[in-house]
Each structure stands twice: as C-alpha cells, then as structure tokens.
Amino acid sequence: MSTPSLLILPGDGIGPEVMAEVRKVIDWFGAKRGASFDVSEDLVGGAAYDAHGTPLHDDTMAHAQEVDAVLLGAVGGPKYDDLDFSVKPERGLLRLRKEMDLFANLRPAQCFDALADFSSLKKDIVAGLDVVIVRELTSGVYFGEPRGIFEEGNERVGINTQRYTESEIDRIARAAFELARKRGNKVCSMEKANVMESGILWREVTQRIHDADYADVELSHMYADNGAMQLVRAPKQFDVILTDNLFGDILSDCAAMLTGSLGMLPSASLGAPMANGRPRALYEPVHGSAPDIAGQGKANPIACILSFAMALRYSFDMGEDATRVETAVEKVLADGMRTSDLLGAEGGKASSTTEMGDAIIAALDASL
C-alpha cells in the first residue's frame, strides 16, 4: 500500500506558526504509531504572490490535484489589501476549491466541556454541542455569472448572481444525508425559499433526494435567517445543517463562536473520489490569518491540529487515530491549558503556540 501523500500550504499570518505544531503531530505519528506520510510543502496566498506574482502557482495547483490531501493554514493580510482583486491572497484558496471541485465543506462546531463557560451563551445552552454544517462550496453567489462592478447610467452597480443547478444541489444534499447517517440521523436544510428562486429549487431537490433515497433520515427545512436565530437560541436542536455557499459561510462562523473561539474549529472540503477511492480533500482551520498576532507566539494551533485529525478520518481511513488526536486536545483543555484567545475576561497566563502544541504531543504520548 502506498504511503499517503499530504501537501502542506502554511500560507500567511499565523498560518506558518500553527502549521509548525501540526508538523509535530505528523512526526509523532511516524515515530510512535508507525504511520508515515509523504509530506511536501509549498506556497499559497500572499506568500505565493510575493514569490511568484500569483496567489497560487500553476505547479502548486497541479500538485494539489495529485496528492491524497491538502492541509492549508490561512491566507491574507493588510499588506495585500491594495492588490487587484484577481491576485488577492484569497483567490488562491478559491482556485483550490474550484479546480479540485471541493463541493462539500464540513464545518463541525463542537463545544468541549472545558470551554463551555467560555462561550458567550449560557453553559446549559452550549455544553455538549456537536453540530456539523455542510456547506456547498463551489457554486452559488460567490461564483455565479454575471458578476462585477459596472457603469449604469450615472452611477456604478455591483452585481453578484446566485445560481444553482439541480445536480449541484443533489450532490451536496447526498453528502449531508450520508454524514447524518453516521451521526444523529437528522438534517436541517436552510435556504431562503420565501424570497429566492434558488431557495425554492434547493428545497425541492433536497426533499426529492430525501424521499427517494434517504427516508430513514429526519429532514426539516428552515429559512436561513431563522436558522441563525435558532443557532443562538437552542443550538443543540441541530445535528447536520445543510446549506448553500453564502449562508454556510455566515452560519458556520455564527456556530463557531458558540464554542468560544474561532481558533478551535477545523474544516474539511471534500470532492469526488479519485482513482484510489479517496475523495479530493482540503483541510483548513476556520480562523483567518490573524495578522495582528502573527509572529508573536499567541496563535491557537488547535483548529489546525483538529483539521489534520479530520484528514486522518476522511482521507486516510485512520478514524481511531483521529479520535486519539481529538481526545488529546480535550485532555489538554481539561487540564487548564489556554492560549490567549481562550483566557476570557478572567485573564491569567496564556500558553504560547508552541507550548500548546507540546502539551498535545505529551497527551498523545500518554494515550499510548
């Protein structure tokens, strides 16, 4: 059996710092579990623009298509704010998603018991929260045409087009139903069918797929604005939330803060199976590049480490080891370890990025 291949793209801001801690975990698996990975590293985002004048070099894109999984840190920063839109760092990430056809974005929002008091909501509302948002990632308003800023009479007009085909809705709905079968067997599909034709089609196709092939899964429909309200009112009513690109972007950040910090949450972007049966996949923390703390050792590496755990589960068929990593993170938090984003109003001494990574390695050692 060939060694699984992993392309690491640290990116910008805190990306290289959190990725350094992931490399420790990868090395640990090689040394302590006999699980080797063929790891390569390249540039993306602003780092790629600085080196090549483009946020993603064609050679990097080609390599991403060949490996079993891509692990990305973060892209962007104020240094690149004045660049033309076509070469902004974020375009590198969007190109990866589009050309790898990573249509299913899985964003778990899990509240660890040790952090239940850290959420802005009451502890009884969020304790035990375990929700996954399944967001369509390669279509919708971020990619629809026509788009742009145009002259119209004596003023400019900005246009973005919300567009979905039946087949695009079909495949993301199936991804959500399949995931629900492995969890709580419940899907809530969110759109705006009351005011958007794309929402009407979304609801119709999702219901049809459910009735034909997934009648065993509980399905409900909800308008996305009500969904946002329900996420902060009673989030534990949800198991799998299915939604489109724009609403998924917003709702997943809302769900993220229920857990206490964006620095805690991983994500997986999955596509169609490759020749070896594994899905094309990109894993990344939900948080951004946080340029205000870059280089200061303050970044929380947990989201990036948990993104690697998702890669173990979904790309490398190593579910037991994925759980091992997640349990190590939970133990470190239960022991009181906190990076600066997790200190809250009570303050205290923050652990550095490196100290958090080392503590997780120690917890992994203790798990053997």
- Residues with catalytic function: 142, 192, 225, 249, 253
CA distances from 271 to 162, 170, 199, 281, 327 (A): 21, 14, 23, 6, 27
Maximum pairwise Cα distance, the chain? 70
Which contacts of 77-81 are long-range, i.e. CB under 8 A and separated by 24 or more positions?
Answer: 77/12, 77/13, 77/46, 77/289, 77/291, 77/294, 78/291, 79/46, 79/291, 80/46, 80/49
Number of Cα atoms under 13 Å in the Cβ half of residue 339: 26
Task: Check: CB of residue 169 under 8 Å from CB of residue 135.
Answer: no
- Residue type, position 366, single letter: A
Task: Measure the CA–CA gap between 104 and 91, rounded to whole angstroms.
Answer: 18
Task: Measure the CA–CA gap between 48 and 45, rounded to whole angstroms.
Answer: 5
Q: Is 146 helix (H, G, I), strand (E, B) or coil?
A: strand
Residue 119: count other Cβ atoms within 10 Å of its Cβ: 20
Q: Residues with Cβ < 8 Å from 349, sequence gap 6 or more?
A: none
